[in-house]
Amino acid sequence: MPPRPALGRRFAVTALVIGLLAALTNGAWAGSRQARPPHGPAPVTRVPSAAGTATPLTGYAIQSSAKVSDSAASVSSPGYPAQGWYPAAPRSTVLAALLADGVYADPFFSTNQQKIPKADFEVPWWYRSDFTVQDTTRRTFLDFGGVISAADVYVNGHQVAAAKDVTGAYTHHELDVTSLVTTGTNTVAFRIQPDDPAKDLTMGWIDWLQPPPDRNMGIVRDVLVRRGGPVALRDTHVLTKLAVPSLASADLTVKTEARNDTAAPVTAEITGTLGATRFTRQVPLAAHETKTVTFSPADTPGLRLTAPKVWWPAGMGGQPLYDLGLTASVAGTPSDTAHDSFGIRDVQAPLNADGARQYRINGRKLLIKGGGWSPDEFLRWDGRYAEDRLKYAVDLGLNTIRLEGHLEPDEFFGLADRYGILTLPGWECCDKWEGNVNGSDEPGDPWTDADYPVAKASMAAEAARLRDHPSVISFLIGSDFAPDAKTEKTYLDALKAADWPVPVVSAASAKSSPRLGSSGMKMTGPYDWVPPGYWYARREGGATGFNSETSAGPSIPTLDTLRRMLTPAELDTLWKDPAAKQYHRSPSPVFGTLKIYDAALTGRYGAPASLADYVRKAQLAQYENVRAQFEAYERNATDASKPSTGVIHWMLNSGWTSLHWQLTDRYLDQGGAYFGAKKANEPLHIQYGYDDRSVAVVNNRHETATGLTARATLFNPDGTQKYDRTVTDLTVSGDGAHGTALTLPSSVRGLSSAYLLRLVLTDAAGTEVSRNVYWLSTRPDTLDWSGTTWYYTPTTSYADLQGLSSMAQVPVSATAATRSSDGTSTTTVTLRTTGSGKTPALLTDVHLVDARGKPVLPVRWSDNEVSLWPGESVTLTATCRTADLRGSAPGVRVSGWNTPERTVPAS
* CA–CA gap between residue 494 and residue 483 (Å, rounded): 15
Q: Phi and psi dihedrals of 558, rounded to 5?
A: -65, 165
Nearest CA to 212 out of 42, 84, 60, 97 is that of 97
CB 268 within 8 A of CB 258: yes
Query: 400-404 and 368-372 as β-strands: parallel, antiparallel, unpaired?
Result: parallel
Secondary structure in 3-state letters for 54-84: EEECCCEEEEEHHHCCCCHHHHCCCCCCCCC
Nearest CA to 867 out of 804, 801, 817 is that of 804
Question: In this structure, how many other beta carbons lie within 10 angstroms of the beta carbon of residue 662?
Answer: 28
- Where are the strands (E) in 296-344, listed by range? 304-306, 322-330, 333-342
CB 626 within 8 A of CB 634: no
* CA–CA gap between residue 778 and residue 781 (Å, rounded): 10
Residue 161: strand, helix, or coil? strand
Q: Name the H helices within 577-659.
A: 595-605, 611-635
Mark residue 573 as left, alpha or beta (left: phi above 0; alpha: psi -120 to 50; beta: remaining): alpha
The one catalytic residue among 549, 560, 665, 865? 549
* CA–CA gap between residue 644 and residue 633 (Å, rounded): 6
Q: How far is CA 485 from CA 122, 506, 638, 703, in A?
A: 35, 11, 35, 45
The one catalytic residue among 480, 540, 781, 800? 480
Task: Give catalytic status of residue 480 as yes or no.
Answer: yes
Q: How far is CA 149 from CA 127, 170, 494, in A?
A: 13, 10, 21
Query: 173-176 and 139-144 as β-strands: parallel, antiparallel, unpaired?
Result: antiparallel
CB 231 within 8 A of CB 684: no
Task: Give catalytic status of residue 101 as yes or no.
Answer: no
Question: In this structure, how many other beta carbons lie within 10 angstroms of the beta carbon of residue 118?
Answer: 12
Q: Which residues are catalytic?
A: 480, 549
